[in-house]
Structures are given as C-alpha cells and as structure tokens.
Chain A
C-alpha cells in the first residue's frame, strides 16, 4: 500500500487549502514545497530585496538557482521578466497584501458578455459565481477576512457577513471616499485577510507600514502558513517536505501513479506514489511540471494571465498621511463591467503605504530632477501629499502568452526551465487605458493639483497574480482541466492553483484560488 493517499505539489494558497481539508478528512497527505518555512525575522525587512521591490533580490523565494528564460536568456527571480510570485511555505500568501476579493458573476462569463475579440482565447468558465459562492464564504471564514459584506453592492448578497470588521480608515481612505462621493461613485472597504480583532490565538493588526511584500511582525496577516497548513499538520496525517521540487508526474494508462521530486540540497531524486495527485505550484511551475510529465494537451502553458495595473498619482493640496498601515482601505467597483466599447475593466483602490525607496522610484513625477537639493526638497515637501490610485485590470487572454519548457536552458538540477513567450492580448491595453483615465478622474476629484503616470503598454502579464495556463473547461480541445479541476483524461490528477482560472477577474485572485481549492478538496473527498 502507498504511504500517502494524496500528494500535493506546492504549499501556497491552493495547495495549503487542499492539504488542510484532506488531512482533516482522514487522508494521508504529502505536501511538497520548493521553498522553506521562514519566520518573520528570516523574511526580513530589506526594502530593496522583497516581493514589493525586488531590485536586488527577493525575500520569500525562490532562491536564485531556480532560473527561468526569456528570449534565450536565463533570468533570476528578481528580474522583471521572471513573473515571480514566491516559493515559501504559504506561497504568495506569506507576504501578500491579502486583498480577499470574490470575482463578480460576469467575470465568469466574459466571452458570452463581450464576444471574443480576434486572436483572443477569451472564454466563459464552465462554472458560475453562484456555484463558487459557498466556497468563497468558507475561505473568508476559515482563513479570516475583514470586510463589510453589506457594502459589496457589485456582488450577489452574501449568506453571512465577514468574520471581522474592516480595517481602520486612515486619512488617505477618508480622502478618496470624499472624492468618489463627489463623482457619485460608490466605494467599499477593501476586504483584507488581516485580523482587525484578535482571532484564533493571534493578535490584531498593529498598522505598520510594511505589510504587502513582507511577513507580518505580529502574525495578524492570514495566509495558508498560519491557518490551513498548521491544521493539516495538527492531524498528524500530513507530512510537509520543504526544499524539494517536483520534477515529473508519472502517468500510465490515464492515471497519475507517482511524483518524482528532487531534494534541492543533495540533488537526490525520490519517487513517491499516491492515489491522487494535486499540482498547485502556481501558473508557471504547474504548466512546466505538466509539460515535463509528457502531457500533450496543447493548451498547457497558454493563456498566461496576471493583471495589468493601471493607475496614477497626484499631488493634493494638504497632507493625507497619518502613517496608518497597511494603507489600502477603499475600493471602487463602478467600472469592472459595462464600459462602452471596452472589454471588462477592473477595481480601483487606494494603495498600500509604499516603501520610501519604492516611492522614490515609482511615485515621483518625471519632471523632478533625480539629484540635488530640488530632488530632496520635493520628497520632503510632497511625500505626504501624494495620492496613488490603481487597480488590477483583467487580462484579455491570448493563446500566445505562453509558458513552455525551454529546449536548451536547464536549472541547477538539470531540469529544463519555464520559458516565456508572447504578450497579453492588445484589448488588455485598451481596457487599461480606460481605467487609467478613471484613476485620474478620481484623483482629480480628491483635489489633486497635478496628476502623473502613464497607462501600461503591451507586454506579458503574470507575476504575483499568475493564472490561466491550465484553464478549466468542458472541451479538452480548448482547456486543460474539467469543471472538477481534474486534468482531462487523467482521472486522478487535479490542478489546485490559479492555472485553472479561465479569466482572472478585475480583482486580486487569491480568494478565488482558495475557493476553488476548497471545492476541489470536496470533489476529492466525494470521489
């Protein structure tokens, strides 16, 4: 008899949830993670090497030997083109900002709402918002999300309110709410996976100025590393192995039989078998693994999507600074859909408190000098008066935005690396330009005297919100997994991360990844 019932590859948002639910349901689980389990101190607060500003490195993995490739060049995790998320126990949820959004009903029906633009692979999901709603609720309550369900006017009514009240309204938030009100735009508190009251033996947020990109100093930020994964381990039925990388899933006669993984420290290969295998390494690594495992479905790796992030910054007449983190408080969802001549849209919100170095690099207008007294004066006089508003625009998928396996470049363990080619669909750029104008309109309504920033140009979009490379669908010719998130024609292989998103919503995607993972865990239990 095999030692495990289930092998889960990747201990992030999705893999962590599946591990917790299956271990509690009595399954013997092996959870594989290529990163380490790291403390607040180990993750540190290096302002130039973190998930927010990766100028010279990253703070939550992966280590530099995990290269990827663009244009025939091997690139490292802190490179702009690497599309890094994180490689650590908890995955991106260890260091994220925790914006815990449900996708809207229309986000699941993009093709039938808008039609499919030329050369796009835009499609509807095979499931609806209504089918996912109970799993969204489960994620919100078990993980711990702070928000106000009654304010979510753009969504169907919630069955129950969030388990915690919204985070403290800071001066920036009060300012943007006033600006939106002047425009007649409704706003709502951003739902955050952050304790606003003590919960489950952990304290409430202390409103520090780091948050997104870092670990929480008091462990008030909720990810799988401090919720579902500890629950899995508490059962005694889950083994968590870190610093191991899955190299191959062996498939015979329509069944996944085993996983071969590499001990990163020694290079040793180990093969473990199980009844069920769940790939949850993120949209880049899951695609790579399935391709390395010899799966031939041509959709694997295509339709890579992240989010475009249009936004703008403006200078207000007075300070809007009170230093109360995490910073983001207020979102506006008036333009997620229904925009004349535009496909989709996105949510806009005020921003997390930027690191001073990030502010200097990304929030200053292009006309200020980069050196000398004027540069220094500008920062001192204006830093506390700058308002930035931005938000995720949902990518319009292109089959050419693609992860494949590089034929030449291998990583330090001899495994072919993930290669990126192509760009998102140009409609994404048009939608972003539209949202950029909306951000400027909002900032102007807040009283800005100057506004700066440009809309993003055409490029590949993946990164921290990576999705789409193993999309869900009923037809194996146009999708990779079925509506149960099981790989077509392989009856015991599931995908449990953002890869399965058909489209990625105009919202941060982690809560959707988790809701789907709860649903997948239930599907596995009910087999």
Chain B
C-alpha cells in the first residue's frame, strides 16, 4: 500500500469506528495496523479488493470532512461493485477494534489472569 492508500484506509477505519469522548477511533485503537497486517496475511485474498476500493474513494478521501467521507462510504456500501467488500472491511475493522485494549475497555471487558 502506498502512503496515499494508507491514509485513505486509516480514514476509512476512523469512519467505521469514529473517535468520540468515550473511546479512541479505530486507527488509534489499533484496527488500522491490524488490517495492514491481516491484508498481507490471513486476509491476503482481499488485498486486491481493498486496493480497488481505495482507488474508488480517490486520493483526496482522507482530506474530506467526515460528513463527506460518510456520504462517500455510503455510496460505495450501496454500489454493486463494492458492497460485499465494504461489508467485510467493516467486520475486519471491528475485529481489530474489539480485540484491542481500547475496544475491550470501552465495553468494560478485562483481561484477568
């Protein structure tokens, strides 16, 4: 992934799991790093789909206001071409978030023992 694609993916992850007053957003929690690792590992079969998805979002995506980012993501979520991948991408990002210390803490889960 080139730096532009990385910035776009980081921004996407932060719209899937937006930062708020209670918990950090997806990328700060570790879901972006999780995705990058997984796309060259267990999820390598989706790396090309991810690239096509980010290409469709365009090189300016990361600089758009969040409302515009959401609109753009919803457009892709509704498109025949990207619907299935975006659905999977959401699940991957959520996996990254809910296995991160920040995600677990948000819902009151503790690692004991």
| CA–CA, A31 and B11, complex, Å | 54
**Contact status B18-A376, CB under 8 Å:** yes
**Contact status A383-B108, CB under 8 Å:** yes
Closest beta carbon of chain A to B83's beta carbon, Å? 12
| CA–CA, A55 and B99, complex, Å | 13
Residues of A within 8 Å of B110, CB to CB, are 209, 323
Judge whether B39 is part of the interface by a CB distance below 8 angstroms: no
Give the total of B residues in contact with A, Cβ under 8 Å: 28
Closest beta carbon of chain B to A451's beta carbon, Å? 21
Judge whether A185 is part of the interface by a CB distance below 8 angstroms: no
Residues of A within 8 Å of B91, CB to CB, are 361, 370
| CA–CA, A380 and B110, complex, Å | 15
| CA–CA, A208 and B113, complex, Å | 6
| CA–CA, A55 and B108, complex, Å | 23
Q: Looking at chain A's contact residues, is the secondary structure mostly helix, strand, loop, or mixed? A: loop
Closest beta carbon of chain A to B64's beta carbon, Å? 15
**Contact status B15-A372, CB under 8 Å:** yes
B5-39 CB contact bits vs A (8 Å, 1 = yes)?
00000000001111010110000000000000000
Residues of A within 8 Å of B18, CB to CB, are 372-373, 376
**Contact status B99-A357, CB under 8 Å:** yes
**Contact status B113-A370, CB under 8 Å:** no
**Contact status B16-A371, CB under 8 Å:** yes
**Contact status B99-A370, CB under 8 Å:** no
Closest beta carbon of chain A to B97's beta carbon, Å? 8
| CA–CA, A45 and B104, complex, Å | 14
| CA–CA, A383 and B108, complex, Å | 9
Residues of A within 8 Å of B73, CB to CB, are 371
Closest beta carbon of chain A to B43's beta carbon, Å? 8
Closest beta carbon of chain B to A95's beta carbon, Å? 14
| CA–CA, A325 and B111, complex, Å | 11
**Contact status A380-B107, CB under 8 Å:** yes
| CA–CA, A216 and B23, complex, Å | 30
Within the complex, which residue of B20, B87, B98, B113 is in contact with A359, where a contact is CB–CB below 8 Å?
A: B98
Closest beta carbon of chain A to B107's beta carbon, Å? 4
Judge whether A317 is part of the interface by a CB distance below 8 angstroms: no
| CA–CA, A355 and B107, complex, Å | 11
Judge whether B90 is part of the interface by a CB distance below 8 angstroms: yes
**Contact status A379-B42, CB under 8 Å:** no
| CA–CA, A47 and B111, complex, Å | 11
Give the residue name and chain of the A residue nearest to B34 (CB): A48
Judge whether A478 is part of the interface by a CB distance below 8 angstroms: no
**Contact status A208-B15, CB under 8 Å:** no
Judge whether B1 is part of the interface by a CB distance below 8 angstroms: no
**Contact status A384-B23, CB under 8 Å:** no
Residues of B within 8 Å of A45, CB to CB, are 111
Judge whether A210 is part of the interface by a CB distance below 8 angstroms: yes
Give residues of chain B (65-109) contacting chain A, Cβ–Cβ below 8 Å.
Answer: 70, 73, 87, 90-91, 93-95, 98-99, 103-104, 106-109
Give the residue name and chain of the B residue nearest to A356 (CB): B98
Residues of B within 8 Å of A384, CB to CB, are 107-108
Within the complex, which residue of A48, A206, A373 is in contact with B95, where a contact is CB–CB below 8 Å?
A: A48
Within the complex, which residue of B20, B95, B113 is in contact with A210, where a contact is CB–CB below 8 Å?
A: B113
**Contact status A360-B112, CB under 8 Å:** no
| CA–CA, A469 and B12, complex, Å | 49
Known contacts being A206-B113, A208-B113, is A380 close to B15, with CB within 8 Å? no
**Contact status B23-A209, CB under 8 Å:** no
| CA–CA, A361 and B112, complex, Å | 22
| CA–CA, A384 and B110, complex, Å | 13
Give residues of chain A (321-364) contacting chain B, Cβ–Cβ below 8 Å.
Answer: 321, 323, 325, 355-357, 359-361
**Contact status A372-B98, CB under 8 Å:** no
Known contacts being A373-B18, A376-B23, A380-B107, is A208 close to B70, with CB within 8 Å? no
**Contact status B107-A371, CB under 8 Å:** no
Judge whether A186 is part of the interface by a CB distance below 8 angstroms: no
Residues of B within 8 Å of A379, CB to CB, are 98, 106-107
**Contact status B113-A360, CB under 8 Å:** no
In the assembled complex, 29 residue pairs joining A and B whose CB atoms fall closer than 8 Å, in A order, are: A45-B111, A47-B98, A56-B42, A206-B113, A208-B112, A209-B110, A209-B111, A218-B113, A323-B110, A356-B107, A356-B109, A357-B94, A357-B95, A357-B98, A359-B107, A360-B98, A370-B87, A370-B94, A371-B93, A372-B18, A373-B18, A375-B17, A375-B94, A376-B17, A379-B106, A379-B107, A380-B106, A383-B107, A383-B108
Q: Which residues of B contact A (CB under 8 A)?
A: 15-18, 20, 22-23, 42, 70, 73, 87, 90-91, 93-95, 98-99, 103-104, 106-113
The 8 closest A-B pairs by CB, nearest first: A217-B113, A208-B112, A356-B98, A383-B107, A371-B16, A208-B113, A371-B90, A56-B42
Q: Which residues of A contact B (CB under 8 A)?
A: 45, 47-48, 55-57, 206-210, 216-218, 321, 323, 325, 355-357, 359-361, 370-373, 375-376, 379-380, 383-384
Given A325-B112, A356-B107, 6 more contacts at CB 8 Å? Answer: A55-B95, A217-B113, A355-B98, A360-B94, A372-B16, A375-B17
